Structure 1
Amino acid sequence: MVTKLDEVAIRSALEDLPGWVLVEGRLEKTFTFDSYAEGVAFAVKVALYAEKADHHPDSLEIMWGKVRVAYVTHSAGGVTRLDLEAAAQIDTLA
């Protein structure tokens, strides 16, 4: 079982995750792309990674030229190491 991290631990970990921020108790990052299709392709990569890792984003929002990804572990009641690990992996997909 994973446990919720405190805000100090999360903010410390975010120093190694450029662009990721803590918003309303979850990790979020908005990725930018040159076209809608590129954003959709990235979102599909995120979805496939999530299935493989069995840890899914809280939200995956596709906009023209942007995709917002957010993570929180609902079963733990907040951000966990799983969310931080997922954020790092999502960065490699962009």
Structure 2
Amino acid sequence: MIVDSLDIQKEIPLWALGDGEKVIQREFVFENFKQAFEFMTLSAEYAEEIDHHPDWSNSWNKVSVSLSTHSVGALTKLDIQLAKAMDAFASQVNSKN
């Protein structure tokens, strides 16, 4: 199901719309590489569970993420679901400081 951009801004306010509202993006910043990698591991395991995978890159303590459902060329509930999970994983990892 394709989602509306207004819903996105309400549900995941830390994410930005990009590419003609077909992508949501966020940069996560952690204290160090180990925390960034822990976040990526948690996110990867969840992405496998729901069979929906992020486009991302990592540079030391930063993880840049883009989500889109490529098969439909738009944002769907799966993107929102994964974004919310990633927000929760980031909070979990950051709370260990």
User: Which band: TM-score by shorter chain?
Assistant: 0.7 to 0.9
Paired-residue identity, %:
32
Ranges in structure 2 where 5+ consecutive residues have no aligned partner: 91-97
Runs of 4+ in structure 1 deviating by more than 4 angstroms, as ranges, are: none
Ranges in structure 1 where 5+ consecutive residues have no aligned partner: none
Matched positions, count: 88
Instruction: Specify which of 2, 5, 12 is matched with residue 4 of structure 1.
Output: 2
Instruction: Name the counterpart of 2:83.
Output: 87
Q: CA RMSD in A?
A: 1.3
State the TM-score, normalizing by the size of structure 2. 0.81
Residue 40 of structure 1 aligns with an amino acid whose one-letter code is: F
- Report the Cα distance in structure 2 between the residues aligned to 1:12 and 1:18, rounded to whole angstroms: 10
Instruction: Name the counterpart of 1:40.
Output: 37
State the TM-score, normalizing by the size of structure 1. 0.83
Per-residue CA distance 1:10-40 (angstroms, 9 max, x = gap):
2332222131011112111111101012111
